[in-house]
Amino acid sequence: MLPNLNIDDLPLPTTLAVPLAADAQLQVQRGETLPAGAVLATGSHSADCIAPRAGTVSDFRRQPLANGNDALCVILQDLDDTPTPLLLPPLSATTLPQLLKRAGIVGLGGGAFPAWRKWRQQLRYFIANGLETETAAYNDAALIAAAGDNLIARVRTVAQTFAATPLLALPEGVTRVPRANDDPMLRYLPAHYSLGNERILVQHLCQLDIPAMAVAADYGVVCFNIATVLAMAAAIDERMPLSDRVITVHDVDGGIHLLRVPLGTLLAEVRHYLKQNATALIGGADEQQIAGDDAVITAATTVIHWQADAPPRAAQACIRCGACEPVCPAALAPQELYWLAQDSRLPEMQAQRLTACLECRRCDEVCPSNIGLTALFIQHKKQLAANAAEAQLIHRRQQRFDHHEQRLAQPVARFSAQALKQRVAAMTKQVSKKQ
């Protein structure tokens, strides 16, 4: 059962702390007054860091982020709510990455990956993922409801600019799009796919196997969370930068609120608005972080839980109750995987189909020991992928070496294999003498 999906706007905060990407170079000075959308910092790999509201740069300082890290932030005060469209060149296939970078568009599903870096010249599919990426999040459902009849057109606009066929993934039986249920781009999936990773979604929708560690865009598919797609549509159609995000807030009494907040809002502002006097936990069910009032809400912040002042329940030993097995949609044995993970027995975990784990967290929801099974599985899946990538690298190096040896062993027109080896050795010696 969905909660009330109306999105409320947080009143204009008094201060915003806008975090800078690691590669970003500052473009502003203390005391400068800026319009909304002004570039605060830019880097060669990140999206531009922009001012979410008009205001004055009052300081630069390190600030804790809601995800538990910290970053150098531009502090903006004397804020003004007037939106300012960006001045950009006309949109074309080649200016799209520039526009997305300048509009500060990053993934809003929790990853905050710069959208412009997914662009490729030849794409086949553009997937808009309308399935929630965190347990207890309703952000995507709320945005889909708010977009209403415009949703399909917006997804299509963005897919067209990427020159790819649009596919819109929605959770079965949860979200329906008014008057569009026979649109060919719609794909209804079991809701647990929401928490599966991009590779699983691509496999399911496009029947394409993306190797571990590879990027779907290199195989002709781009996949964006629906909030990111709508942000891109606003940048393309209205030249509006990414300045806000919608978050799901669970209050201490069990109420659920959908709030639109400017990026860079401090947690204290949300606490004050919802009159919460409790501990704030950020994130989905199994990867929650306690955050203080000075923590900054970023593009990667999806869910906040306010909990009566009690520390999160500590993990306890597995009691072999078996509750985790029947709920697993991938027919895995989470308990077995858990015991194998205790000794990092990766080959056996692989044999138990660890890589088929959808990261849906259903096992976590029923585990009375609060073990955090999914986080454990994600960690070991990453390790498996890293091992596979390393094995591939070693294989490629071996192939290059074998090829090299074979070439040297082949007699060429003027030299025997032996003479060729001697000649290569002599030339190498000459070169190193010169150096």
Which residues form the interface with ligand SF4 (CB under 6 A)?
318-324, 327-330, 332, 334-335, 338, 357-363, 366-369, 371, 373-374, 377
Query: What are the structure tokens assigned to 366, written together?
Result: 């029923």
Of residues 194 and 243, the one with the C-beta less far from ligand SF4: 194
- What is the distance, to the nearest Å, from the Cα of residue 400 to the centroid of all Cα atoms in its chain? 35
In the complex, the smallest distance separating the C-beta of residue 284 from ligand SF4, rounded to whole angstroms, is 12
> 208 with 223: CB under 8 angstroms?
no
Of residues 180 and 378, the one with the C-beta less far from ligand SF4: 378
> 345 with 336: CB under 8 angstroms?
no
- C-alpha span between 241 and 84 (Å, rounded): 9
In the complex, the smallest distance separating the C-beta of residue 341 from ligand SF4, rounded to whole angstroms, is 11
Of residues 296 and 332, the one with the C-beta less far from ligand SF4: 332
- C-alpha span between 197 and 364 (Å, rounded): 17
Upper half-sphere CA count for residue 38 (Cβ side, 13 Å):
18
In the complex, the smallest distance separating the C-beta of residue 330 from ligand SF4, rounded to whole angstroms, is 4
Q: Which residue has the tokens 């309703």?
A: 138
Q: Which are the contacts of 157, defined by CB distance < 8 A and separation ≥ 6?
A: 233, 236, 237
| Residue type present at position 248 | T
Of residues 247 and 363, the one with the C-beta less far from ligand SF4: 363
- C-alpha span between 20 and 71 (Å, rounded): 7
Of residues 174 and 246, the one with the C-beta less far from ligand SF4: 174
Which DSSP string do the residues of 18-87 spell out, in sequence order?
EEPPTTPEE---TT-EE-TT-EEEE-SSSPPEE-SSEEEEEEEEEEEBTTS-EEEEEEEEEEE-------
- C-alpha span between 340 and 334 (Å, rounded): 10
Helices (H), 217-305: 226-238, 267-274
Rounded (5°) CA angle 155-157-158: 70
Of residues 102 and 362, the one with the C-beta less far from ligand SF4: 362
In the complex, the smallest distance separating the C-beta of residue 290 from ligand SF4, rounded to whole angstroms, is 23
In the complex, the smallest distance separating the C-beta of residue 337 from ligand SF4, rounded to whole angstroms, is 7
In the complex, the smallest distance separating the C-beta of residue 364 from ligand SF4, rounded to whole angstroms, is 7
In the complex, the smallest distance separating the C-beta of residue 333 from ligand SF4, rounded to whole angstroms, is 8
- What is the distance, to the nearest Å, from the Cα of residue 342 to the centroid of all Cα atoms in its chain? 28
Of residues 200 and 222, the one with the C-beta less far from ligand SF4: 200
Of residues 191 and 330, the one with the C-beta less far from ligand SF4: 330
In the complex, the smallest distance separating the C-beta of residue 331 from ligand SF4, rounded to whole angstroms, is 8
In the complex, the smallest distance separating the C-beta of residue 212 from ligand SF4, rounded to whole angstroms, is 16
In the complex, the smallest distance separating the C-beta of residue 336 from ligand SF4, rounded to whole angstroms, is 9
Of residues 257 and 362, the one with the C-beta less far from ligand SF4: 362
Helices (H), 367-416: 373-409
Give, as one character, the DSSP assignment of residue 284. Answer: S
- C-alpha span between 133 and 140 (Å, rounded): 9
Q: Which residue has the tokens 């865009």?
A: 217
3-class secondary-structure state, position 117:
helix
Of residues 206 and 324, the one with the C-beta less far from ligand SF4: 324
